[in-house]
Amino acid sequence: MKRVALITGASRGLGAVIATLLSRQEYDLVLTARGQEALEQLAVSLIGYGGRPPTGTLRGKVRAIAGDVANPAHQRALVGAAQELGRLDILINNASDLGPSPLPPLANYPLEALEQVLAVNLIAPLGLIQEALPLLKASGGLVVNISSDAARVGYPGWGGYGSSKAALDLITLTLANELRDAGVGVVGVDPGDMRTDMHQQAFPGEDISDRPSPEVTIPFWLWLFGQAPLAVSGQRYQAQAEQWEVRGEKE
């Protein structure tokens, strides 16, 4: 049986890069994002979702399910799709909400917008982990929560987004401690500055062409997915670092 990965925010940017990488490593995939058209285009590019697979592409299975990751019903649908594929080895909580753009200072931050940021960046990952936990326990799987340097630095204007990621970092570490005996690994990953749509939204009207494309993180993902989940569990990695260390238990 092929390994299975579930990736949120998968239609473009970092999520699409990870999905492509795992497809090439013969994973079956459950992919989600808000935009159905972009999501299905990615699925077609991977295995011919709804059409003929491109020459040389591995014929893995893809379940592309568009929707709001903060919606509990959508979370159940995603985990149900993984269950239909037979297992779940990797859950990547990549979907994020930047919040208002231009980025407002916290003193003027619209609280309704902050609630939405927290719903997508904090509550949704935890809800999806809770829903997927039986499958992750069965496979000895790995949860990857995508963080940001904004969680630690306190950049002006980034307080809403950064606070959601700081809270996610604590959830990541706590879950790693709580789930170790169950055999489930949980890690946080700061992918670094990249040339993505969300990064452009953070700097409207500015030229961000000097930022690297998300493909710059591929060496890290190849390394991470080659490690035993409990060997890396509890760590917070910088994907664009020169090297990465294993400091947990080896299984």
Q: Specify the CATH number for the domain of residue 76.
A: 3.40.50.720
Residue 27 and residue 15 in contact, taking contact as beta carbons nearer than 8 Å: no
DSSP 8-state class, residue 174: H
Cα 190 to Cα 18: distance, rounded to the nearest angstrom: 14
Q: Locate 97 and state its tokens.
A: 């909400």
Of the residues 161, 163, 164, 237, only one is catalytic, namely 161
Of the residues 96, 147, 163, 164, only one is catalytic, namely 147
147 is catalytic: yes
User: Has residue 250 been placed in a domain?
Assistant: no
Whole-Å CA distances, 103 to 111, 126, 200: 13, 25, 12
11 is catalytic: no
Of the residues 109, 139, 165, 233, only one is catalytic, namely 165
User: Has residue 190 been placed in a domain?
Assistant: yes
Amino acid at 90: I
- pLDDT tens per residue across all 251 residues of the chain: 799 999 999 999 999 999 999 999 999 999 999 999 999 999 988 875 433 444 333 456 999 999 999 999 999 999 999 999 999 999 999 999 999 999 999 999 999 999 999 999 999 999 999 999 999 999 999 999 999 999 999 999 999 999 999 999 999 999 999 999 999 999 999 998 866 666 656 666 666 677 778 999 999 999 999 999 999 999 999 999 999 999 755 44
User: Has residue 243 been placed in a domain?
Assistant: no
User: Has residue 249 been placed in a domain?
Assistant: no
User: Has residue 248 been placed in a domain?
Assistant: no
User: Has residue 191 been placed in a domain?
Assistant: yes
User: Has residue 187 been placed in a domain?
Assistant: yes
Query: Which range marks the domain in which residue 201 is found?
Result: 4-238
User: Has residue 85 been placed in a domain?
Assistant: yes
Whole-Å CA distances, 161 to 39, 120, 190, 234, 238: 24, 10, 13, 22, 18
161 is catalytic: yes
Please give the tally of structural domains in the chain: 1
